[in-house]
Amino acid sequence: MALLDLDPSVVATARKLAARAAEPVVSLAKAHTTVAVERATLRLAGITGADSTHRAGDVPWVNRVIDTVREQCGLEHGVVLPAFHALRENNLGTLTELAEATAAGQIQFRIPTGKDLTAARKASTSAVSKGLKAVDRNRAQRDKLITKWGDPAQRPWIYLIVATGDIDEDVVQAQNAARAGADVIAVIRSTGQSLLDYVPEGATHHGFAGTYATQENFRIMRAALDDVSKEVGRYVRLTNYASGLCMPEIAVLAGLQRLDMMLNDSMYGILFRDINPIRTFVDQRFSRQVHARAGIIINTGEDNYLTTADAVDAAHTVTVSQLLNEHFAHEAGLPDHLLGLGHAFEINPKVPDSFRLELAHALLARELFPDAPLKWMPPTKHMTGDVFDGYLLDGFFNLAGVLTGQSILLVGMMTEAVVTPFLSDRDLALKNVRYVLNAAGSLAEDFRPAPDGLIVKRAHQVLGEAVDLLARIVDDGLLNAIADGTFGLMKRPAHKGKGADGVVEKAPEYFNPASEMLEAQGA
């Protein structure tokens, strides 16, 4: 269906440059671990629950263990060796018992040697592989349910957000949304969760502008969507956020509770949450390996660049980020069909030919990544509060989505930036999508942009600018480019940002059975 006649050699150059730009960062990611990666590993090995007696409120057991191990013998060897050695040495049955004993100050962690080392390696490998097997079973179960209930009848899949703060209310809204036509439900997280260095526990009812991501909330929502999937006769997918300081742990919990898609961007945390760049790249790599194992579709966050930078001037930074996200994802073992690369309809509607420019950008993404389930994000920046204007803009957004063959369409709300959507706003938004799908769902068949027209020329121009920028990033180094404000105009130096103290350089004897097993799957 190639409509843009992109030069394959330019595309190949773009990919080669992205790989070269990413290379030093991948080495950096391999050479380090983080508190979050170690916690994710222990979660795979079976630790659950929280210390409810702690004065700081519920502190997950896994945080207690990691913090104590770090204090007593450092994390450069990984957490599993001291943890599983202590388990055996103290004759404890489970990691949770170990955590309780740790909290009581009864455990002295140390790095085992000789026979003890062999035993700790073996025990931890067996525990972690049990966790990965649970992830594998969930993946198989998803496949089975999709076969049984089916995929959505149409592309793009219709993606809707719920965000009440209370998981029980979320369930009601999500089930209603599915009945009204939603194929994918995303539960927005509570504001601020991305900067918590622990994952809250249990079912939660008081979030701010969203609901906390917890293992129990994941389980509740997945079960509710299974019920409604059965009712509507298609498998309704569940999305959450593997981002922020707990990205690897959230990825593990998603795998353990059969979530289907996760927001997971290689640079979002750095740029928009001021999280330390190295922390992010290390956590990113591990979380993507877990997603690859779980068969989870990642959603990348390129739409965000356009909310801070100008959508025309910065169009090529979206392409660059997509190419980098693609490379990092492939490197972590994610195949094309799990790459929900993002982009957005954010050009100022007052710009002449804005719709044609949107089509050019959307088509460029489509043709650069033909096998990726692209995620098409609605206007937010130019939603003014005039809901009537907004409704029209969302209609054009929907049209651009079907015309350029986008795969996942996040339903735009006319109340964007005004209030959380009313029941009726969501209903109207879905009506808008249904009308466009019904009226123009197959229009792509008749859509042939003129070979020397604005759309084709613009797409070539953006790709050219992307290649130039990638070349500069290769020369300058990706970390420097991020420090200089190349993406979304945010300047983020490599040594700064939140969570930097959670990064640890691996010792040569570093051992992590999860990493070893996940690494093997990518090869």
> DSSP string spanning 269-334?
HHHHH-B-HHHHHHHHHHHHHHHHHHTPEEE--THHHHHHS-TTTTHHHHHHHHHHHHHHHHHTT-
Under the binding rule (CB under 8 A), the answer on residue 172 touching other proteins is: no
CA–CA separation, 465 and 362 (whole Å): 16
Report, in Å, the least distance between residue 103 CB and other proteins.
27
**375 in active site:** yes
How, if at all, do strands 503-505 and 32-34 pair?
Answer: antiparallel
Taking CB under 8 A as the criterion, the residue among 180, 471, 507, 517 binding other proteins is 180
Tokens 């263990």 belong to which residue?
65
Which of positions 449-508 make contact with other proteins (CB under 8 A)? 489
Closer CB to other proteins, residue 65 or residue 275?
275
Answer whether 512's CB lies under 8 Å from 80's CB: yes
Report, in Å, the least distance between residue 280 CB and other proteins.
15
CA–CA separation, 125 and 109 (whole Å): 19
CA–CA separation, 113 and 116 (whole Å): 6
Closer CB to other proteins, residue 57 or residue 385?
385
Which of positions 268-287 make contact with other proteins (CB under 8 A)? 272-274
Tokens encoding 359: 């089509």
Under the binding rule (CB under 8 A), the answer on residue 113 touching other proteins is: no
Which of positions 404-423 make contact with other proteins (CB under 8 A)? 417, 422-423
CA–CA separation, 487 and 472 (whole Å): 13
Stretch that binds other proteins, among 112-120, 186-194, 330-338, 467-475 (CB under 8 A): 186-194
Tokens encoding 474: 């290769």
Report, in Å, the least distance between residue 420 CB and other proteins.
9
Of the candidates 51, 303, 394, 425, the residue annotated as catalytic is 303
Taking CB under 8 A as the criterion, the residue among 48, 154, 176, 461 binding other proteins is 176
**510 in active site:** no
Under the binding rule (CB under 8 A), the answer on residue 309 touching other proteins is: yes
Which of positions 189-248 make contact with other proteins (CB under 8 A)? 190-192, 194-195, 208-209
Under the binding rule (CB under 8 A), the answer on residue 179 touching other proteins is: yes
Tokens 């671990």 belong to which residue?
33
Closer CB to other proteins, residue 142 or residue 234?
234
Under the binding rule (CB under 8 A), the answer on residue 165 touching other proteins is: yes
Closer CB to other proteins, residue 9 or residue 424?
424
Report, in Å, the least distance between residue 381 CB and other proteins.
9
Instruction: Please tell me whether residue 162 adopts helix, strand or coil conformation.
Output: strand
Tokens 């700081």 belong to which residue?
56
Under the binding rule (CB under 8 A), the answer on residue 435 touching other proteins is: no
Closer CB to other proteins, residue 208 or residue 435?
208
**268 in active site:** yes
Q: Decide: residue 95, CB within 10 A, 0-12 exposed, 13-18 middle, 19+ buried.
A: buried
Closer CB to other proteins, residue 443 or residue 489?
489
Answer whether 308's CB lies under 8 Å from 490's CB: yes
Alpha helices in 45-166 (DSSP H): 61-73, 80-89, 95-103, 114-149
CA–CA separation, 47 and 51 (whole Å): 12
Of the candidates 241, 268, 305, 391, the residue annotated as catalytic is 268
Stretch that binds other proteins, among 32-40, 90-98, 174-182, 217-225 (CB under 8 A): 174-182
Active site residues: 268, 303, 375
Residue numbers at the binding site for other proteins (CB under 8 A): 165, 176, 179-180, 190-192, 194-195, 208-209, 272-274, 307-309, 385, 417, 422-424, 427, 489
